[in-house]
A and B are shown apart, each in its own frame.
Chain A
Amino acid sequence: MDLSLSTRPEGERTVVDVAGEIDVYTAPQLREQLVELVDSGRYDLVIDMERVEFLDSTGLGVLVGGLKRVRAHEGSLRLVCTQERILKIFRITGLTKVFPIHDSVADAVASTD
């Protein structure tokens, strides 16, 4: 399946629900979504990746780009992911040290660190 994206506010934060495959073809859609959010003043993002079926390095690049953008506004970008096959890619690339990764949206939204 392709990528499907939806967003919803959760207090001060915005949850981006991502489902499907994030790859070299679909990653630009995710990038546009993140750029749009930051341009509209949403700087604290929670990206729910529980329904992501595939993630490649291009997708990682878009997430890192998103992180840079929100940080430029002193914002935050948190990920929600418990899928081992997706987490593995963050570990391989050392990005578990870069992104706060949470077990649930509730946990990410409540997080203050």
Chain B
Amino acid sequence: MAEVELRIDPLTSHVRTARQVAVALARRAGVAPDVLDEVRLAVGEACGLAVALQRRDDDPEPVVLRFEDGDGLAVQVRGSTGLAVAQGEAAIQLLSDAAVTDEDDDEALPAGAALAVLSELVPGLQVATGPAGPRLELRWPPG
């Protein structure tokens, strides 16, 4: 069991770094090579979502990604933008509603789509929201 924690300022340019770290650690943790693309995409979506929420609110706090390898790879993504408390499906809905991008942006797809992609890629996806911010837990293989 080994842990890696990555703290990034909420800049969209850092999301790529988070994806690269996730794939490197997944590989090291023995996650099957054909699943690495899923890890890349899912961690990117989760991290991108947390970053988008904080940018919306001008919240400069870092987004924290915690990776734990042991039996596969577990990833926790934590943002700091406080949201109403909810768990599971309710939290997914809340995040989806909250993460809508710019008002003048007619591309309303991303917020809901990020979570749709995540739910599809990560069967054991756990999502919780609370006053301390959203928390997403991803795991390969699904626990």
Contacts and interface: CB of A to CB of B under 8 A. Distances in A.
B15 A25 contact: yes
Contacts of A68: 106
Interface in A46-68: 54, 56-58, 60-62, 64-65, 68
A111 interface: no
Nearest to B15: A24
A110 interface: no
B116 A65 contact: no
B113 A57 contact: yes
Contact of B41 (A31, A56, A61, A65): A56
Interface in B14-72: 15-16, 19, 37, 40-41, 44-45, 48, 51-52
Interface of B: 12-13, 15-16, 19, 37, 40-41, 44-45, 48, 51-52, 101, 105-110, 113-114, 116-117, 120-121
The 10 A-B pairs of least Cβ separation, nearest first, read A65-B107, A57-B113, A61-B107, A61-B109, A61-B110, A25-B12, A24-B48, A57-B114, A92-B120, A24-B12
Interface of A: 21, 23-25, 31, 54, 56-58, 60-62, 64-65, 68, 85, 89, 92-93
